[in-house]
Structure 1
């Protein structure tokens, strides 16, 4: 039994066959999923999907690429939705220095606002990080994010940053890149992160794992991620599956 802790079933890529995708996941023993909403279009659909399926949950936040578009009304909307019984986290949020739609100072301000919100409603946060690791860790430390903790989504950084994340009550989530032949960093992390702080995800429809790299990703493929991590850690796949699922329940505050 696996928990895909970060999936975008609300993406347009799944508009034509979402039900089939979900049923394939269930058939592959991916029994739990967290659908991530990150803007005005994807948040309502994340909630709608979570309401339809007992074991699918939602998180709500504002993506850093679109930080410049967030209004005070949007932030209030996210706060209102945080009380929904199927919402388990605030995010994804963070910093993205790869794209230039939103200036860095705007991204940082929106990031801080969402951390404040998460602390106000006492919910974990999901971090999006692209080419901004040191700023993200600094802001999390300055804002005392350890009070709520959360998830470093699709971690793809040097293992040297892991202790700082763990110290702030964050879990390390790994996705498709851990299976890529030319991606040594996730492999090092997979082997070294404490087992009780490790999560698995797909980030579908993005970052499909080998041998499906370059194709549309889907939650059924999280099994490939878990199998690779078990291999890297030289441990039993079932043990890894059970522990990462327990970890997901713990961070999201879901009764096991």
Structure 2
């Protein structure tokens, strides 16, 4: 059974399903996706994120504000901790640093990132980190503000092996999305080969970044087996083994052990 460790169910394209989100969840279950983590990117839509988690036994949630968000409610420590008290919230984020689109807002992003890491430290729920063109600052803030016993995940990873290794040393997991299947992702596939299996998660980041052979279409959790298949090929193991290992990794990180 697979776990989609990072998706945005509140933002899926649901026109093809007569029964809306029910249809997308059923389609994921039909291909062996047993659990999905619906990740928040702002607080304006947090009610929909939590509603999805409440509505389905197989869906859990995170609370946080994406570093690229420059409008809306600010994620104060008090607000994040109040939201994190929800019974199906298992993570803080997504948070992090994105200098590719928002380099002019470095100070603001770093301050928000620190708030999320401190919320994680207090509530003992791991952090989901988005990082782009901000390797050194991301690692420095995690090291300074994070809790190594709680850890977290660098999601939709597209950086190099050096960053992955340094994050792993800080008790972080590395999550790969459909990008790993893209033809121009040879450098990323070489990173996959280096990351230990016990530190890998898989995700769709849907509705974005659909894997081959679905690239160019809206993404959804039922496509996460394509990510697993690619990683299995790179690691020289069966897709069943990748499904089992990454699901166990997810449960370990997010305290989802029975």
Deviating above 6 A after TM superposition, structure 1's stretches of 4 or more consecutive aligned residues are none
1:205 and 1:34 map into 2 onto residues whose CA distance is: 13
Which of 30, 43, 64 is residue 61 of structure 1 equivalent to?
64
Tell me if structure 1 keeps the 8 A contact 2:12–2:220.
Answer: no
2:14 and 2:131 map into 1 onto residues whose CA distance is: 24
Q: Within 5 Å, which residues of 2 pair with 1:1-256?
A: 1-11=1-11, 13-14=13-14, 17-67=20-70, 69-71=72-74, 74-100=76-102, 103-256=105-258
Tell me if structure 1 keeps the 8 A contact 2:12–2:206.
Answer: no
| Stretches of structure 2 lacking an aligned partner (at least 5 in a row) | none
Residue 84 (structure 1) shift:
1.2
Tell me if structure 1 keeps the 8 A contact 2:12–2:207.
Answer: no
SS at 2:174 equivalent = strand
What RMSD in Å do the two structures reach over aligned CA positions? 1.7
Residue 140 (structure 1) shift:
0.8
1:205 and 1:135 map into 2 onto residues whose CA distance is: 28
1:163 and 1:81 map into 2 onto residues whose CA distance is: 31
Instruction: With the length of structure 2 as denominator, give the TM-score of the two structures.
Output: 0.94
Residue 67 (structure 1) shift:
5.0
How many equivalent residue pairs?
255
Residue 105 (structure 1) shift:
0.5
Distance 1:101 1:13, change over 3 A: farther
